[in-house]
Amino acid sequence: MIQIVFYQALLVIPALVYFYSKKVAAISLAAIQILLLSLSIAGFVTLQFPQILIILACLVLLTDPGSNPQLLSIVTLISMVPLPGTLPLVSLALFIFIALSAKRCQKTLGLYMLIIIPLTFILQYLRYPFAALPLVLLLIGAPPFHKWFSDLYSNYRSTGVLVALTALTHLNAYQASYASLTSLLLFLGALMMIVGLFQCMVCKTFTELYSTSHRIVFGLLLVSASVSELRALFLYLLLPSIFTLSIIHFVHNSLAERTKKSGMFEFGGLSTGMKAQSACTLATYLILFTLVSLSSEIFMQIGISGNIEFILLGCITLFVAAASLAVFFRNYTLIYEGLSKSNIPSSSSQKFAVTALSAGNLVTALVPISSFSIFSSIGGLRPPEFEALNTLLLIVAAATILSAIIMVFAKPSKMRSWTTGYATLNELRESRGEIFTSWREIFEPIYAIKVPDDKASEIVGKINPIMIFVTLAVFAVIGEIL
């Protein structure tokens, strides 16, 4: 008792000093917190785990020059008070602080974090609004509304993603309420993946690229969110999907902003100057591919051991996984290979950001599945002896190592392409036409299926997704009242 009062007294000091000198206040707060930590390690003070976390968080926040040490010291003070309900409150306060300081350096990130708080509150109160289902689907971009999804993406890109993810999380949390609609949701999810795949193959602008790759991801997430057996899969897929989508956004967005161009055919040859970005984009595409193929394996396993409809889903997802490789390769080569048309210098902060995001992507994608526990929690299935992802990883790693060995020891001699013959290499590189035109011709029947939603898309595409989400909440409240 005496000890806690002592520390509370200590923590008051920086709050008081703040009125005289902000810098001294920050330094003193940091010093006191470090003292607390070392005392707890040495065993003189017992601090609970959440309190240690809070102290660490405060220390990190102190590095932000705009943060308020007074408020931080008060927050730490409160955390020391063993009252019920203080910890969530303190966590909330800290989250707001983090969001505010994030907003100072990365405006959009901070904005998202600030949006999450009210959205999470709303989420707690939503139950079963059947009428809200179409809105949920609208948010996620379920077919057949292609155009509006693309329009949404040109107007409210990031907000759209965020709100859609929130809607999916809601769906996952309240699966039981939507149980009667499971088959519809599965069908829509599978359809979204296929539609996204085919549209991504013929996309010409960045907006189309985003919307189609998002459709693939959201289709997958929709499928795993709708079924109770796949709850663990959904939770696993959530983080890597967010990272993947944000990387795809980030890289292409910065390209578009720098050059004021948004057509994919206007780039080329960037891989030499933007090595980090090109490597990260490639890695992102590969991780997306592994996510889809992992899911397909799980679907097939479930299907074979009982639920027959998952077999079809598994076949479709398997096909999407394999074909997505080709699609990603096309998109990658269009932007990064060939003769460089625009000379875009890349900034090191961008490189750092994209590398950090990719690292996060890799970690969240690979670490959970390396342990068997995640697998066994998925529907109670026994994991196969070689998880699919491990096999694939092994193969790719082995191939890369072998090739590196060959490259080092075999000493290949470089030469130019032989068929230029009478045409110069430059001329051939310059030709930036679409190579996959025969794709469009062969699959013309599929591309010819058009839903007459142009007018509707114009209107819906301009609505802020948050408005849609608020409508969802209103429906929820109504549903609860009735």
Partner 1 sequence: MDIITKIRSKFPDNIIKVTELREKTQLMEIKKADFPQILDYAHNSLGGHFMTMTGTDYIESLDHFIIDYILGWYEEGVLVVFRARIRKGDENFPSATPYVPCADWYEREVKESLGLSPIGHPNPRKLLLSDEWPEDIYPLRKNYKHDARPPYKAEARYPFEAPENGKMFNIIPFGPYHFAIHEPIYFRFLTNGERIVNTDLRAGFNYRGLEKIAETRLTYETIPFMAERVCGICGSVHAEAYTQALEKAANFEAPERAKWIRTVMLEIERIHSHLLWLGVASHMVGFDSGLMQFWRVRDKDMFLAELLTGNRKLYGMIVPGGVRRDIRDDKKEKALKLVSEIHEEYEELLKATLNLGTLKKRLKDVGCLRKEDAKKYSVMGPVARASGISIDSRRDYPYEAYPHLDFESPVESEGDVLARTIVRAHDVLQSIKIIEQALESLPDGPVHTPLDYIPPGVTSVGLVEGPRGTDVHYIITGKEDTVYRWRVRAPTYANLQATPLMLEGYTLADASIIIGSIDPCISCAERVLVVDANSGKERILSSKDLLKR
Partner 2 sequence: MNFPVLAINILLAILMAPIFDGLRRKITARLQNRIGPPITQTWYDILKLLRKEIILPENGGFLVLVFPVLTLILSLTMFASISTITVQSPMERGGIIFIELAVLSAFVLAIAGSTSRNPYGMVGGSREVILATLVEPSIIVSLTALILLKGSTTFDDISRSYSAGIPLLIAVVAYLLSLLAESGKIPFDLAEAESELSGGPLIEFSGPPLAFLKLGQSVRNLALYSIPKFFMIAFIPLGLTEQHHSITVVILYFASLFLCTIVISLAESLNARYRLSEASKFYVMVLVLSSIALILSVLTKGTS
Site of interaction with partner 2 (CB under 8 A): 293, 296-297, 300-301, 304, 308, 311, 314-315, 318-319, 321-323, 325-326, 329-330, 333, 337-338, 384-386, 388, 391-392, 395-396, 398-400, 402-403, 406-407, 410-417, 419, 425, 428-429, 431, 435-436, 438-439, 441-442
Which one of partner 1, partner 2, none interacts with residue 427, CB within 5 to 8 A by kind?
partner 1
Closest to partner 2 by CB, 43 vs 433, is: 433
Closest to partner 1 by CB, 84 vs 421, is: 421
- In whole angstroms, give the CA distance from residue 386 to residue 388: 6
- Least distance CB 304 / partner 2 (angstroms): 6
- Are 344 and 269 in contact by the 8 Å Cβ rule? The answer is no
Closest to partner 1 by CB, 174 vs 265, is: 265
- Are 447 and 198 in contact by the 8 Å Cβ rule? The answer is yes
- In whole angstroms, give the CA distance from residue 456 to residue 134: 14
Q: Is 424 in the site for partner 1 (CB under 8 A)?
A: yes
Q: How many CB atoms lie within 10 A of CB 22?
A: 14
Where are the strands (E) in 104-147, listed by range?
A: none
Q: Is 416 in the site for partner 1 (CB under 8 A)?
A: yes
Q: Is 428 in the site for partner 1 (CB under 8 A)?
A: yes
- Least distance CB 265 / partner 1 (angstroms): 7
Which one of partner 2, partner 1, none interacts with residue 426, CB within 5 to 8 A by kind?
partner 1
Closest to partner 1 by CB, 348 vs 426, is: 426
According to DSSP, residue 385 is labeled S
Distance from chain centroid for Cα 98: 20
- Are 453 and 146 in contact by the 8 Å Cβ rule? The answer is yes
The residue within the footprint of partner 1, chosen from 431, 446, 450, 467 (CB under 8 A), is: 431
Assess whether the previous peptide bond of 84 is cis (omega < 30° from 0).
no
Cα–Cα distance list, 226 to 117, 163, 197, 398 (Å)? 24, 17, 21, 37
Q: Is 432 in the site for partner 1 (CB under 8 A)?
A: yes
CA triplet 8, 10, 14: central angle to 5 degrees?
Answer: 110
Distance from chain centroid for Cα 447: 29
Residue 136 corresponds to which tokens in the numbers above? 């949920």
- In whole angstroms, give the CA distance from residue 167 to residue 241: 15
Tell me how many residues contact partner 1 (CB under 8 A): 22
Q: Is 332 in the site for partner 1 (CB under 8 A)?
A: no
The residue within the footprint of partner 1, chosen from 438, 444, 445, 482 (CB under 8 A), is: 438
Q: Is 436 in the site for partner 1 (CB under 8 A)?
A: yes
Binding site for partner 1 (CB under 8 A): 265, 416, 419-428, 430-438, 440
